[in-house]
Amino acid sequence: MALSDNIVKYREKNGMTQEQLAESLRISRQSISKWELGQNLPSIDNLISLSGLLDISLDELITGEPYLHFPFDYGKPKSKASAIILAIIVVFWMLMGGIFGNIGYSFMFGSIFYILIVWIYPFDFKKYYNYWTLEKRGIRYLVGNKEVYSSWENIIMPIKALLHIRSTNFVEYKQMTKVEIKVDLFGYQPKKVVALGNYAPGSSQLMNESFVMKITTKDGKEVYLDLKSFYWHQSIERQMLPTILMFLKRKNVEFVDRQGIIELIKDRDVHLVDELYKRREETKKIHAD
């Protein structure tokens, strides 16, 4: 979005007319009009004043992107409430053996209960373990990260997080040669299955389209970063992902986006996965014809 469009957008969002904004800046209304028509540009002093009057950062005013604060933890839950709930579940699981006197049965039923919580409950307890951090010089990521984890690894991750068993590596932006983003769709459209008519990504950990960013480094190493926190509509990750991707695109690396994800997620209300399934179906029809 151009600077001129942003001035109009945020002026109207703040309920200000051109006259009111001009009066606050002590300039003519015609100057405001020329900015908004793209016929002229504000001076540096006026840009700084505009960002204050319109209550946004200079980055957001000029580029339309939210300000990116460093370090930014992508996917890390902001609250420990869910971790406390999980800890209570694990403790309850352990105590069942003492209460009922049969450790074998208690362990079996406790394990089943734990697995159901980790896999089916909408909240992803693994986020306490597999989040990654965007820093000024590079990205800090989980040691041994993978594009796809085994069932056992997915089950054990929340416990590792509770026990603070987590180590990280760091890759500098200057060491990156390629960044690729992709959503791995299922072989079928879940919403077309009657039992899953209300399906939405993130509604269950058992069914979730993988959404990852793959980074290739100069020494050939591949780093996989989980982007699925974007699926939650109220998350800060959903708000900031377009800005993060644009930030990485400016790092002079090859950027691969075969599905056109960046353009889709610029609309905060977009149903990314639904749109990708729709495009796939349209492509199939074209090839069939």
- pLDDT, residue 103, reads 63
Residue extent(s) of CATH 1.10.260.40 domains in the chain: 3-63
- pLDDT, residue 155, reads 87
What is the spatial distance between Cα 101 and Cα 96, in angstroms, rounded to a whole number?
8
- pLDDT, residue 102, reads 61
**CA dist 62 → 42, 236, 242, 289 (Å):** 11, 21, 15, 45
- pLDDT, residue 188, reads 81
Each residue's pLDDT tens digit, 168-188: 999 999 999 999 999 999 888
Per-residue pLDDT of the chain (289 residues; tens, 9 = 90+): 578 988 998 899 899 999 999 999 999 999 999 999 989 999 999 998 998 888 887 877 887 777 788 999 999 998 877 777 777 776 776 666 555 556 666 667 777 777 877 887 778 888 999 999 999 999 999 999 998 888 889 889 988 988 889 999 999 999 999 999 999 998 887 777 755 556 666 566 667 889 999 999 999 999 999 999 999 888 899 989 998 998 898 888 999 999 999 999 987 777 899 899 999 988 888 877 6
State the Cα angle at 185 between 183 and 188, rounded to 5°. Answer: 170
- pLDDT, residue 270, reads 78
- pLDDT, residue 245, reads 92
**φ/ψ of residue 184, rounded to 5:** -90, 105
At residue 227, the 3 state secondary structure works out as: coil
Each residue's pLDDT tens digit, 248-285: 988 889 999 999 999 999 877 778 998 999 999 888 88
Is the pTM higher than 0.85? The answer reads no
- pLDDT, residue 199, reads 65
- Does the bond joining 122 to the residue before it have cis omega, within 30 degrees of 0? no
- pLDDT, residue 205, reads 66
Asked whether the beta carbons of 172 and 140 are under 8 A apart, the reply is: no
What is the spatial distance between Cα 126 and Cα 124, in angstroms, rounded to a whole number?
5
Residue 85: both structure tokens together: 């709930």
**Is domain 3-63 annotated with CATH 1.10.260.40?**
yes
